[in-house]
Each structure stands twice: as structure tokens, then as C-alpha cells.
Structure 1
Amino acid sequence: MLDTSGNPVAADPTLDGFTVDLSSPPPPPPSDPFRVEAETFTILSGFVVKNNGHASNGQFLKAGNAGEQRAAYTFAQSDGIYDLTIGHFDESDGQSQMSVLVNGTQIDSFVWDLDAGGKFADQSSFAERTISGVALSAGDVIEIVGFKDKGEPLRTDYVDFEFVDTLFT
């Protein structure tokens, strides 16, 4: 028997074999939750950015007209399953409607009917909507699409992303 340099060595009977683990590598560690401010989304139609001290970064998106409001964000994090939480102001003077799309496919739609506070964007009207188990890969486009209703102008503050699991291919 020879060693790796070609030198003769005595055989060791206790080394009669070995095992190679060919299983998949362990998944990457989960990423920390992160927030994307709605006002940093690319506005595709309708929405305008407004200042407000009650918003998480001092600004939010708000309906700019009576038609469709649409904004997009291109996901640039690790592939995986995420829970998305949308922070918004659900006021008492209307029932706006919002849909969330990933690559053009609707993953959620909801009516802002909590009427949690008054008719202003403040802490009493702040609400969150969580969408669980969303499969995302780098390059996916997430869109928020909605329509304001009466005095509730679809004020959207942020989207939080929380890693839940790896994507299985």
C-alpha cells in the first residue's frame, strides 16, 4: 500500500473502509427579517409619495387619483419561503381594496374594512396584513395594486419580509 506521496506504508486492518456523505448541503441560515418602505417601490400608476410623521420612515404611498394604483419592487434577497406583512392605514371613512401579485400572479386580495381608527393616517388607524408562505426568488417582481374608496386613499407604509424556509427545487 502506498501513501499519497507514493511511499510504501503498512496496511492498517482497522481502516477497512470509509463513508462519504453525498446528501445535500445544509440550508443557508435564515436571513434576518427586513423592511422595504412602500415609498421606495417603483410607482407604475396612480400612487404618490406623501410625508407623514406616523409612517415608519416618515413617508408612505397614497392614491394620487381615482383609478388603479400600482407599485412594484424587485426582490433581491435569498431565495426562500417568506411571510410578507403589509403596513397600512385602514381609516374609518372608506374601504379601499388591495391585491398583491408576484410575477403577475395574485397571491392575496383584501378590503381595508377594519375601520380601526378615525379618518386620518395615525397610530389609531394603523393596521397590518400578513401573507404567509410566499415563495420568492431573486428577480421576482412584487406588485401592490389597489383602489381607494371614498375618503380612504390607500395609504401604504411598508412591506416586511420574514424568511420562513428554503425553496425546494
Structure 2
Amino acid sequence: MCHLGQCPSPEKCCKKVTVRCGCQTLKKEWICQDVQAAYRKTGCDPKDISKNQFGLGLLPCKSDCRSKIQVVHAELQARKPKVSEEKEIDTEKHVPKRKRRRERVQEVKQVSRLQKIITTVKWLLLYVALLVAIIASSYYGYKGLMKLSHWMNEVEEQRQSKRYLRI
């Protein structure tokens, strides 16, 4: 209960236990039986106290403890407004990092008139090339189909003329 292992007899236990003051700044080692006796004097049963709280608050806090706690609290209070101001700035413009990076890239890219003209000319050339390819493929496809049709007609005529010759 009070330390690693079991107390063979709580009244005669001689293992050392760490005892702290209420603010946990002072630390001393006492014998387990003394710690249990101190708890009994305060009116608490040592068995009711959890293992991680055992020995806590038995030492009286000194003026050093209080001054250290006040310094720590003052530092925390000094830090808190700074943190809240930073959070307010973040909440005003809450943008994920990716979007910030994209925005930076977009801000850096300032397109000149010449670049705009060049890109529009490239797009026009692409559309014209695509249109020419479609027209050429349809024209030559039509011509090819017509030649195939004439050739099939000629083959058909030759077959019919050979049939008449046999009869």
C-alpha cells in the first residue's frame, strides 16, 4: 500500500517512503511506520489513501514553498495573455498550411500581358490543330470508304461475269 511490496506488519514496517508537503515542493524520506502513525494522528486511515497519494501533505509547507508557488503562478499568468492573443490571431484567419502555401504561390505568380497573349495563342493553335486533324481524318476516311466501295463493286461484277460464263 505505501511502497513497493507488502507491509509484513504495518506497525513494524521499516521501509522508506517519500513524504511531500501539500504543494509538492518539499520532499523527505520517512520510515513507513512513521508515515502511518502521522496519518492516524490526522484522523485518516492509511489503507484508504491511494498509492500515488501516500505521504502527500504530511510535511508542513514553509514560506519558501509559498513564494515558489507564487512565482510559478505569476509566470503562468504572464504567459496566459500572450497565448490568448496568439490564439485570437489564429482564429481570425484559420487556414490550413496547404492553402497558405498555395496562396503564397498564387501571389508570387504575376502574369504579364505577353504571357497571357502567348498562352491564348497556344490554346488557339491547339484548337486549330485538333480541328484540322478531325477534318483530315473525316475527309480521308470518306475517301477510303468510297474507294473500298468501288473496289467491292468491281469484285462483285467480276464474280457475276464468271458465273455467267460457266452457265
TM-score range, shorter chain: under 0.3
Q: Which has the higher helix share?
A: 2
Asked which structure has the greater CA Rg, the reply is: 2
TM-score by length of 2: 0.18
Q: Which has the higher strand share?
A: 1
Higher relative contact order (Cα pairs below 8 Å, separated by 6+ residues): 1
TM-score by length of 1: 0.18
